[in-house]
Each structure stands twice: as C-alpha cells, then as structure tokens.
A and B are shown apart, each in its own frame.
Chain A
Amino acid sequence: MRVDGKGLIDRDRAVSFRFNDRYYTGFAGDTVASALLANGVRLMGRSFKYHRPRGVLTAGSEEPNALVTVGQGAAQDPNVRATVQEIYRGLAVRSQNAWPSLRLDAMEVNDFAWPFLGAGFYYKTFMWPRAFWERVYEPVIRRAAGLGGLSGRHNPDAYEKAFAFCDLLVIGAGPAGLMAALTAARAGADVILADEDSLMGGRLNAETYRVDGQAGPDWAAEAVAELAGLPNVRLMPRTTVTGAYDQGTFGALERVNHHTGRRGGGAVLECFWRIVARQSVLAAGALERPVAFRDNDRPGIMTAGAVRAYLNRWGVSPGARVAVFGNNDDAHRTAQDLIEAGVEVAALIDSREDVAQSGDYKTYAGAHVCGSSGRQGLRRITVRRAGREFQVEADCLAMSGGWNPTVHLTCHLNRRPTWSDEIQSFVPTPGAVPGMTAAGACNGVFSTAGCLKDGADAARTALKALGLRPRRGGGVPDADDTAYRLQPLWAVPGKGRAWLDFQNDVTVKDVKQAAVENFRSVEHMKRYTTQGMATDQGKNSNMAALAVLADATGQGIAQTGTTTFRPPYSPVSIAAMGAGAQGMGFAPRRLTTSHATSVAEGAPMIEAGLWYRPSYFPRAGETTWRQSCDREVGMVRDAVGVCDVSTLGKIDIQGADAGAFLDLVYCNTFSSLAEGRVRYGLMLREDGHVMDDGTTARLGPHHYVMTTTTAAAGNVMRHLDFVSQCVAPKLDLRFTSVTEHWAQFAVAGPNSRELLNGLLDAPIDDGTFPFMACGPVTVAGVAGRLFRISFSGEHAYEVAVPSRYGESLFKLLVARAQALGGGAYGMEALNVLRIEKGHITHAEIHGRTTAFDIGFARMISAGKDCIGKVMAAREGLLDEEREQLVGFRPVGAVRQLTAGAHVFEQGAEATRVNDQGYVTSVAFSPTLGHFIGLGFVKRGRARHGEVMRMVDRMRGIEAEIEICAPVFVDPEGGRTRG
C-alpha cells in the first residue's frame, strides 16, 4: 500500500492502466510493479518449469519473476519487466505463462510432479518410441515452455540505430557515476552519461542517505541539473549499455517511447546506439542476492533493497507486516526505513550472532528463515533459532544475502572477475576492458562516501589517460561511510526445495544432484540444471549456486570460478539491433536510368545483385512470359533489340603500365591489343579457378576500359585494388569505376547498325567499325562511346552516354527499334540469346570451374605470368575426368530440359556414384524450336553425340539428351561479324 510522504512519484498526476482484466491507478513515476504493489497486488507471474505463483523479487531490470506482456495485436511486447515498465495512460499489460488464468494455472500440476522433473530428467527419458519425440514429447514440452509470446505478425513499430562518440562514457548514474561525470565534465572532457533508469541517481533515489547534508535524491537531481547545463555532456537516461566491444566500442539500448503511448509519425520505440569512447567508467552498481531457504519464492518475498526502493522511491510498502532476513547490516537499515515510514516490522532475523538491537522491533540474532507458507502470497515464515523453529506472521519478507558488484561489462572481452573474500563476491579485474575503470558498488565499494570518492578517482584516471587535468578543488561531498559487514549465507540448510534460479526453477537440490552426477565444472552444472540461463542470466542466483556447487564439490568458490558474462547485459530486441532493415532497407536498391521507363512499359523488375533489371517487356495479347521472351529473341535475331546493360561493371584504367597490369590480371594478353579495339578477357583467381569474364577496350595508348559481369563487379574492383597495391605496387597506373557515369545499351540484331546510324552524327560501316571495334561517337549530339561487341551472337553494339541522358537515349533507341520491327528486350531474352550462342555466365563460372573446364585453357598465355596461372596447372585441375562444359539437346519423348538436373548414362541408375554431371542453364530456343541447355559432364568434350539421361527429381522430369557442342546458333560467327 502507499505510504504517505514518501517517494519521488508525482502524486498530483494519477495514471490508470490495465493489468490482466482489471484497471488500476498509480502515479506518474510509478512502474507497473510499484503501482501493483501499491494496489495490494502481489501475484504477478508464474515460473518457467513448475508454474509456481510468483511476485516481484527485485525493483530493477534483473527481475526474474514479474515478466508481463505489454499491449496486444501485432505490437504486443512479451517478457517486459514489470519493475522497469513505467506506467502511462492507456498502458495495458498481461501476465504470461499461465492458463487459463494467473491465479488458476493448469500447468501448476508440474509443481506436484517435481520429484520426477529434477535436474536433467529429460536427458534420461522420452526416448521410446523414437518417432514419439517429434510427434508427442517435443510438442508438449514446447507448449509448456517459453514465457511470453510473439504476435506472429509483422512488427508495426519504428526502431532506429545511431552512432555517438565521446572522450568518456560513464555507465550508471548512481553516486559513483554522477561524481565521475561531474569530475570529468568540469575538466572539459566530452562526456556521455548513460543510465538504464528513467530517473538518474541510482540507489540515492532508493535509500535515505544524505549527501552534503541534502537528501540523496535532491543532491542527485542537482548533479544531473549541473551536467545537463554543460555543453560537453550528453545525458542518456533509459539507456542500458548492453555490451563492451573492441577498441572502446559499446552497444547501448535507449528505450525512447516505452514510457509513452507515442507510436508512428517518426517516433521510434527504441534506439540502438553504437557508442565509441576513448575512456569509460563503469559505475553500474551492485545487485542484491536472495537467500536460498525452503519455499523462498512466494509472492511477497523479495530482496531488502527492493523493499527499500519501493518504500523510498515509490512510496509503497510491499506489505502491511514486513519481516526482514539478512546476513548484513542492510537488513537493519531496511527495518529502520520501514519503522520510520510507519510500517509494521514483524521481525528482524539476522544470521549473525553478534548483532545489537537496531530499532524498535523484534530482533532474532543467529537465526534463519527456514520456510514459508501462503501459496499465492506470503502469510507466514518459519524461523529457526538455536535448533528451535517457530512461525512469524508476515505478508512480506525482505531478504538480503549481501551484494554482488555488477561486473558484467568488464567480462565482455573474456576476462574473468576476481574473487573478494571481504565482500564474498567477484569484483572487476583491472584492465579487463582496455580504457575502462570500475567505480563504486560495481567495484566492491559499497558506502555512499566510498562510491562518491571512487567515482571521482575513476574520472581522474580517465582524465589522465585523455591528457586532461581535473579542475582544482571540487572535493568529494560528505556522505555515510559505514563499513559493509556480512557473514556469508547462501542457503539455509533444511528439507524441501530452496530456490536459486527463480525463473528456471533451479533449486539447491538440483545443483547438488548435478554435482553427484559429475557435472562439477561450473559450466557443466549451469548447462545441466539451466541455472543462470533464464532472462536474468543468473544475476540473482549465480553466486549462491556457485557457493552451493563449491560446497558440494569441496572446492572454494574462487576455485570453482564463474560462468562467462556475455553481451547483452540486459536483453535487446532484434528490431532495435536490426533497425532500418525491415522491408526494403536491408540493402541499397540500385536503379538504372531506364528503370522508370521499363516499369512504365509493364516490365516485371527482378533483382540482379543490388540492381533491378527488366525481366521482359510484355505486349498486348501476350499472356505468358514465354510469349514475350520468344518474341524478344526473334526481334534480336531478325530485326533489332535494345537492352540496358549499364549494370555491368565498367572500370576506367589509365597509365603507362595499364597494359602490363591487364596482362597480370587477365589470363590472356591485353598489352598487344590495338587502340580502338576490344578483346574478350578471362580473369582467374589465384587458386586457378575462373573469377570473371568480360570485354576490355583500348581507348588510347595508356587508356583502357574494362567491363565485368554485373554479379562480380564489386569483387573484381576489389581484386584489381589488391593486385595493384599488394601484388604489383610498382606498376604505374590508376583506375576507377565508371559504372555509374555511363548508361550503356546493347543494340543487337541485323538492323542494329541502321538504327544507330540514324542517331550517330557520323554514320559507321564495317570499314570504320568492324567487329570488336570501339571508339568515341556523338549520339544525338551527345559525346558517347560505341563498342561493337555481341553477347547475343548477332551483329551488335553497345552504345554509352553519360547517365543523365540514359533515360532519354533508351526511349529513343526503343522507339527507333520499334520502327525497325524490334524493340526492348529483357533478361529472359538476353539469357536465351546467350545460351543459343553458348556464352557463359556465373551459372557456368560458378567458382568451381577452371579455364580448362570451359574449354578456354588455351587462353592462358604461355608467354607471361598471370594471377592464377600456376595453380591452374595443378594436376587435379587438368584431369580429363573433370566435368567439362557441353551443350545439351533433347532427343527423347520428353522435350523439356531443366537447370539443376543431373546427368547419367542411359540405363545407369540415378545414384551419386553414377552421376556424370549436371545442367547449369536451359532455355527454349525459339530460333531452333526446342529446348537447349548448357552444363558440365565428365570428359564432356570427348562425348559429343552421346545420348544420356537428364534426371530432375526435384521437378519430376527425366529426359533423354544428347551431348553437343555448347554453341547452338551460328557457331562460325558469321552473323556477329557480318
């Protein structure tokens, strides 16, 4: 219930929200947890395995029990910590993992079957009969498991990512973090202060400490105000630094609008930050550990720190009659805070013998809580003292087993933390993260005064590394400096189940059994029992589990060691880290200058790498792509076709050694190429396989322009950079991509020259422009380039103009082509044309083929070195048994060929050992009136004329095929040259 006069909430602003089927009212500044507690709601969730009733254990992001689902419909957000979710008008949250209701959960039967569901039970059963695993056991297990659910619909909310840079990143805005930020900022450092909470101040907002004579929260507010006023400081509240990465890079999740109902209109829900910091101060505080005792998991049993937080920050008492149990002085402060707030303290149970009465409440020294009752909410606890057990009525138990420094980020680069006997926990190992200094509670310093001083010192260390001077004066404010005294207490001995990992339902028994079964390494114990694998990643339970394991194995905790902390510190939504990619944002879209025109023509656009290219240009009356494709092929063979080939890579190469360079990167020779001429080139990888092919034109004595395939343009550019900078750095040449500068169009077919001559200022003929000629031309008044090359096998050209004129030239070319009985053609026709002509693409040069395989071995010039030459000569790559490029044509009843089919000898069974090869490309050739194909067959070149069997099990097609030469149309090349 609410406690008057306490808390940092705004009591003038009531906020109503929904939990399951009821509306509740809280105040601005409340979390779902604090508001529900204020309304007397203790039961907030169910555990993972036994579906035990659970309430809040903590008041922070480490909460393992009070997980809820926020919202509904496509936007529903599962596994949200009720202890972190701020309430706002219209907020609706639901409990999870309970059916039919939170109070009455059918799966609670598991809790009565617990003796059979202990550590690792599933490894020992569910094995018979075999088929039952997928059909019976697994579906049942899956349905029972899991916490909240996804909506199953596309994420409707906006997320973003951003980069930030600073001299110093301070992680955590408690006393240590605030002091570090103040010290560094006053010295002129460029500071980012990030804190996962909505209100900066850390424990100062949850305790009753005074700083510099002020109330803790007031001092914190003033510090934050000062920082907010400095130009060199960036405050990032509601921002969890989730991971430490190499060279001062940090990941951080900012919850931008989870505390508002604001969606859409550019408003993002979360922002994932990549923060680059030259130095960092980790001031992440500490996490209180529960104590394991029988039935220590009832709603109403929580950490003492959480009780004080609810009381002091939110003005809520989690119970009317609160008992306190601990092994350190915080138990006493908790009781004192409660009394001071007018809450009844049922009893103070301190496991230590030597403790004085600390206030006006019943104190049991040298005593333990060894049990509890109250299925859906705590009713009473059992206390054991001097061998005697008795019961104490209480609806809330505050327990404190001591504190664990939040060392997580210091372990993200794989360094282990160091055991401290003094605080019975692990502390950061200095230097574990280069440039990071830990300060305050996360460094094992627990008093407020100690935290303030440690924060200031850490900032000074950072400033020194940054070459900055701390400002004179500015001492550390006075504050409480009581020493932290505790006596280790991990698990209270006794019968029954004592919980360690609340969410995963791992008990002391489970850990002991794991040790008995020889899962004695901490990693084995974790993996066998699932201890520490819940959503809190063991923040609340790992230490106690370690201690229990250490006890069971007879090793010390330090020897036992910890499991590894890995990013993220607290869970990060995939939508945040993947922001921007949903829909089209995953990769850039590259559009040619003819894109809009092609779309307007009704051409379906298909992805080609990052580019989009037209598949075909349908005309009235054409109902299938094949009709359009066949017509376009016919146009090119009989009249003229126009195709945008701008997506091919174009690389402008200049310099005295340009020819020598090309001789090195191509297996054939280019230094001997005449000016104004074009040559086909084959490029190998250093391992002797084909990398890419294309044509390269010599425009001047020291000037070439290379073309690459669309697919390999990027790789080839990188390869050329590699060769020129790493392999042949002394060659004098420079090159740069001109792919984007030139819009280039293939004009192919018998009428291609006629078409072009209608546009060129100076008409061309075979004399001025023979096959494989190139040169500058003026196209409709614009300076461009013309290449007489042919991928289709027809008399063809490629004409290039600066991209600004691309769309205009494409329209003009298509119009002229149509006037000459042709028109635009797309990728489908382009593919048919090249297969008819036997031109290869990356379907054939797929990375496993050599020049030998495709019949181009002779292109590897004997007279010079080239990349890949030596490795291409390996015995295994010149074996006649290798699969060699061939053509296929149907000769049986089944006329269809399919790419991806495998090839077998007639009569041979279609098995792996009989496999003779495969089909890479097929097309229906309108020119020939039947299907044709390219592919690879063992000893293929020697098997032309052999009839074999094509088997495509995937498509259910088998066909008799004849192996033939991989050129189907105009093998002599008369059409190309004529």
Chain B
Amino acid sequence: MRFSGLRVLREGLTGNKGWQPHWRDPEPKAEYDAVIIGGGGHGLSTAYYLAKTHGMTNIAVLEKGYIGGGNVGRNTTIVRANYFLQGNSEFYSHSLKLWEGLEEDLNYNVMHSQRGLINLFHSDGQRDAFVRRGNAMAVQGDDAVLLDRAGVARHLPYLDFDNIRFPVYGGLLHPRGGTARHDAVAWGYARGADRRGVDLLQNCEVTGIDIENGAVRGVQTTRGAIRARKVGIVVAGRSGQVAAMAGMRLPIESHVLQAFVTEGLKPCIDHVVSFGMGHFYMSQSDKGGLVFGGDLDFYASYAQRGNLPMAEHVMEAGMTLMPMIGKAKVLRSWGGIMDMTPDGSPIIDKTDTGGLFIDCGWCYGGFKAVPGSGFSLAHLMATGQHHAPAAKFRLDRFRTGRGLMDEEGTGSQHNLH
C-alpha cells in the first residue's frame, strides 16, 4: 500500500478499514543469502539498501526484541553533517544527502526537519576550532555559517547573553542540520525492507555464530538455526557480546547516555542548540516537548538508565545558557547504550572471519548515520569493497595508529569522546 494524503482521505471516508500491516511477521527460513543481526536503525537500513541497491532480497534481520527498540528509539533525534576530520566528513555528508531524499525513497514521513543547528563557542580558541570545522564542512561541500554574538542573538534571542558563566562569543550555524522523528525512521526502513521481501524476525535473539574454517556459515537463534554465508553484526551497544560469539574482542566500551524530554509546550525553540562548555544540547519536538541531553554518565553500563549527577549537570547547563526553560518540566528521562570507541569514530569493516562483517562504534552519533551506515555496510557486504565515504572506518586503525579520527582530541579513553 502506498501512503499519500489521498490515501489518508479515502481511508478516513471509509472508516479506516483498509489499513494494512507496515511489515509482516514471517517465520524464519532455514537459510538466507545474508542475515543482519540487529533490528535497529542501522540494521534495518542495511537490509533496505541490500535489497534496494544490490538486489539481495533473500535476507533477514534478526532482532532480539522489537524492531527499532534500541538507540534509534531512544535518542535526541539530531541529524547533522558537521564533522571536521577526513573520514567522518565525507561519511556524514553522504548520510545527510540520503536523509534529504528519505521520505520519497521510503514513502514514509520521517519528519526530517532541517531547522538548522547552532554550535555555540565561548572563547577565541573555540572560535578558531569551529572555524576550522566550518571550513572542513565547506570544502566537503556542506553548509556552515560563522555567527558572531549578534548573529547568534538574532537566531537565539532567549539565550542569556549578559549574566552567564561562559559568555557566548558566537556560533557555527549548520543550516541543513536538524531533527527527524526517530521511530518513524526505523519503521520507514522496516516497511521499505519488508516490501522488498526482507524477513524481519522479531523476538529472535542470536545465541551463537557458526564458523567453519575461518568462514561464517550461519547463526544460532532463539527461533532456531539459520544458515547464511554473509552475516552482519549491527548491534551498537551489544557489539561486545555478539562479537565475542565469533571470538572477537572489540575496541569498544559500552556507556550510558541519558536524554530528557519535557511536557509539551508551545513553540519556543526553533533550532537545535548545542552548548559546548556545558555539554548540553536541546531542540523542540513537533509535539512541543523540549528534547535535550548532555554527556555520558561516564561509567560502563548496559542499564539503559542513568543517575542524578549527570542529569543535574545537564539541567544546570540549560539554566545557565537559556534560563527561559526553567519552568519547563521534565516529563521523562531515559538512557541508551553507547558503543564508545577509542577515537570516538565508528567502525564499518570486514572481520578476520570470512563473510562476517561488523558495523559498530557509533558512540552517541548513530542516529544521523542511520542511512549512511546502512548504505555503506550494504555496499561492503554485497560487493566486498569498502564504500568510499566509509572507507576509513577500519577496525585496525587503533593498532596501527593509521587514520585515527579523534574529533574531540581526548585520546584512547573510551568514555571521553
């Protein structure tokens, strides 16, 4: 069924009786050409592009819970391409281009809203660093505009410019940056993959990876054994456990990142605002809730929940930057499992096991990467060649020191990125 305003109209007039499932719930087959472990954003988009771009339709996505239940369903929905190191730069640039065509491509309104993202800076040194970033974005072909203090005030008049611990010197505006409706992205890709014949197997947890003489042969799951010559591990925070099934130890530590949403409010924040000194960022959802977050809780965790010190720090950052939000009331808080790498940049690569691929290490930047990551992993799995925009996301860069992408410059301590 194709979605359109007309369809909504027709269904409305006929009692909404004609709607059909967005995806099937098929029984697992004994064998697929490829299986993707992980029914999150990245796994679903990988399946979608394998089917759409590479014509691989005899494939399955194995999800231990419900699809879209991981980080794609619990993030702060920010979409941007404002990196400054080679490797990240071209990848996120490509991903953003995919975002810009996503609704037509998926025939699903993911509410991608390019409302503009502003990174604030608070010293001359930070300005120079953001100028360098902005220039990197510009030479990559993406958009960036340097704002002085007055320029920021024009966009964000509600910030405290007069009495603030770390005054606003200016900001870097990324006009094409913005947000999207996170769940819809997972559902749109799921529906798109399903319509192309991909089996989405929910409540299907992988319990083992079958390897014969150095090559993958399939997986063991809670819904039986499934044979496949190509297996992609796309499980974000759970990468460590799944990779261990293939005898791998990863350069990853899983951490909790909290996020928060307030009660619905009339429109008051029109951009995505990021406050570097406070590790605080905020946008307003179309429903009216202020969606915001900050830094990791900093301790390794799989709990999908955080603790008060970081929550308080985030609120404090909000109060010093934009005291107009004081009377907004936090409705809900939650946590996601972040697969943190030693340089804060991701991994899309083959492994030492033939036919086994891994896509992980997205830290807390995974949502905006959903289209690009799936596209590039699909390319790698289908062709055996690294997709150019993701060619630098190699697993061995830490051992060799070649092509490290440490945007924060904080070094190999996983939780500092």
Contact check, B412 vs A687: say whether CB atoms are below 8 A apart.
yes
Give Cα A123–Cα B111 distance, bound, in whole angstroms: 8
Q: Is the CB of A523 within 8 A of B66?
A: yes
Determine, out of A189-197, A314-322, A571-579, A670-678, the stretch whose residues face the partner at the interface: A571-579
Indicate if A424 sits at the interface (CB-CB under 8 A): no
Q: Which residues of A contact B146 (CB under 8 A)?
A: 954-955
Does A249 sit within 8 A of B, measured CB to CB? yes
Q: Does B298 contact A (CB under 8 A)?
A: no
* Contact in complex: A146, B267 (CB < 8 Å): yes
Contact, CB under 8 Å: B109 / A125: yes
Nearest chain A CB to B51 CB, angstrom units: 19
Least Cβ distance of A888 to chain B in Å? 14
B131 contacts A581, C-beta separation under 8 Å: no
Q: Tell me whether A154 and B86 are in contact (CB under 8 A).
A: no
Within 8 A of B (CB), among A879-927: 879, 898-902, 910-912, 914-915, 918-921
B404 pairs with A685, CB closer than 8 A: no
A119 to chain B, nearest CB (A): 9
Nearest chain A CB to B116 CB, angstrom units: 9
Measured CA separation A628–B266 after assembly (Å)? 48
Among the 9-residue stretches B213-221, B229-237, B327-335, the one with 4 or more Cβ atoms under 8 Å from chain A is B327-335
The residues of B that contact A687 with a CB separation of less than 8 Å are: 342, 411-412
- Counted as pairs of residues, one from A and one from B, with CB atoms less than 8 Å apart, the total is 363
What is the CA–CA distance of A32 and B357 in the complex, to the nearest angstrom? 61
A155 touches B278 (CB 8 A): no
Contact of A900 among B130, B158, B160 (CB under 8 A): B130
Task: Enumerate chain A residues within 8 angstroms of B89, measured Cβ to Cβ.
Answer: 912
Q: How far is the CB of A948 from chain B (nearest CB, A)?
A: 14
Give the distance in Å from the alpha carbon of A689 to the alpha carbon of B323 in the complex.
39
Q: Which of A243, A527, A586, A871 is close to B316, meaning CB atoms less than 8 Å apart?
A: A586
Find chain B residues with CB under 8 A from A412 CB: 305
Inter-chain contact B268/A581, CB cutoff 8 Å:
no
Query: Is there contact, CB below 8 Å, between B114 and A134?
Result: yes
In residues 163-185 of chain B, which contact A (Cβ within 8 Å)? Answer: 163-167, 172, 181, 183-184
Question: B330 contacts A574, CB within 8 Å?
Answer: yes
Q: Are A155 and B324 in contact (CB under 8 A)?
A: yes
**A582-B163 Cα distance, complex, nearest whole Å:** 8
User: 0/1 per residue, B277-292, Cβ < 8 Å to A?
Assistant: 0100000101110000
A572–B318 Cα distance when bound, in Å, is: 14
Across the interface, which residues of A come within 8 angstroms of B129, CB to CB?
A: 846, 900
- Are A130 and B103 in contact, CB atoms less than 8 angstroms apart? yes
**CB-based contact A574/B166 at 8 Å:** no
- Least Cβ–Cβ distance between B227 and chain A, in angstroms: 27
Q: What is the CA–CA distance of A553 and B292 in the complex, to the nearest angstrom?
A: 35
A155 and B326 contact, Cβ closer than 8 Å, known pairs A148-B265, A517-B20: yes
Q: Is the CB of B109 within 8 A of A124?
A: yes
B139 contacts A902, CB within 8 Å?
yes
Give residues 371-417 of B contacting A (CB, 8 Å): 397, 399-404, 406, 408-412
> Cβ of B325 and Cβ of A574 under 8 Å apart?
yes
Q: Are A875 and B303 in contact (CB under 8 A)?
A: no
Contacting residue for A606 out of B123, B130, B144, B267, CB 8 A: B123
Q: Does A133 make an interface contact (CB < 8 A)?
A: yes
Q: Is the CB of A688 within 8 A of B401?
A: yes
A124 partner, pick from B8, B202, B397, B406, beta carbons under 8 A: B8
Across-interface contacts of A575 in B (CB, < 8 A): 319, 323, 326-327
Bound CA–CA A537/B329 (angstroms):
13
**Closest chain B residue, CB of each to CB of A873:** B401
B54 sits at the interface (CB 8 A): no
Instruction: Kindly state whether residue A6 has any CB partner on chain B within 8 Å.
Output: no
CB pair B90 A912 closer than 8 Å: yes
**Contact among B15, B308, B319 for A245, CB-based, below 8 A:** B308
- Knowing A574-B326, A900-B134, A915-B86 are in contact, say whether A875-B312 is a contact too (CB < 8 A): no
Q: What is the CB-to-nearest-CB distance from A920 to chain B, in angstroms, rounded to a whole number?
A: 7
- Pairwise interchain contact B320-A517, C-beta atoms closer than 8 A: no
Pick from A414, A579, A687 the residue with the most CB of B within 10 Å.
Answer: A687
Residues B326 and A138 in contact, CB atoms below 8 Å apart: no
- A248 at interface by CB-CB < 8 Å: no
Q: Does A116 contact B (CB under 8 A)?
A: yes
| Interface check B365, CB cutoff 8 A | no
Q: Which residues of B contact A875 (CB under 8 A)?
A: 400-402
A377 to B256 Cα, complex, angstroms: 48
B136 touches A157 (CB 8 A): no
Within 8 A of B (CB), among A411-437: 412-414
B401 CB contact (under 8 Å) in A154, A574, A874, A899: A874
Closest to A124 in B: B3
- Which one of A73-81, A459-467, A736-744, A752-760 is at the B interface? A73-81
Instruction: Select one of B21, B108, B409 contacting A518, CB under 8 A.
Output: B21
A607–B287 alpha-carbon span in the complex (Å): 38
Using Cβ atoms and an 8 Å threshold, which residues of chain B touch A116? 8-9, 12
Which of B25, B129, B278, B325 has the most A CB atoms < 10 Å from its CB?
B325
Closest B residue to A846 by CB, please name it: B409
Instruction: Tell me which residues across on chain B come within 8 A of A151, comparing CB atoms.
Output: 324, 327
A141 to chain B, nearest CB (A): 5
A874 CA / B320 CA spacing, docked (Å): 43
Q: Kindly state whether residue A40 has any CB partner on chain B within 8 Å.
A: no
- Would you call A13 an interface residue if the criterion is a C-beta within 8 Å of the partner chain's C-beta atoms? no
CB neighbours (8 Å) of A143 from chain B are 266-267
Please report the C-alpha to C-alpha distance between residue A521 and residue B73 in the assembled complex, in whole angstroms.
Answer: 14
A121 to B10, CA, bound (A): 12
A577: chain B residues within 8 A (beta carbon): 311-312, 315-316, 330
Complex formed: what's the CA distance from A141 to B145 in Å? 28
Could you list 18 further interchain pairs (A-B, Cβ under 8 angstroms) beyond the known A76-B327, A125-B5, A900-B130? A48-B264, A75-B327, A79-B265, A116-B8, A123-B110, A134-B115, A147-B265, A150-B268, A157-B326, A249-B307, A412-B305, A572-B329, A574-B315, A574-B327, A585-B320, A586-B320, A847-B410, A875-B402
Provide 15 A-B residue pairs closer than 8 Å at the C-beta atoms, listed in order of the A residue.
Answer: A123-B3, A124-B5, A133-B113, A146-B266, A152-B324, A154-B323, A414-B304, A513-B16, A516-B21, A519-B22, A568-B330, A574-B318, A574-B326, A581-B165, A585-B316
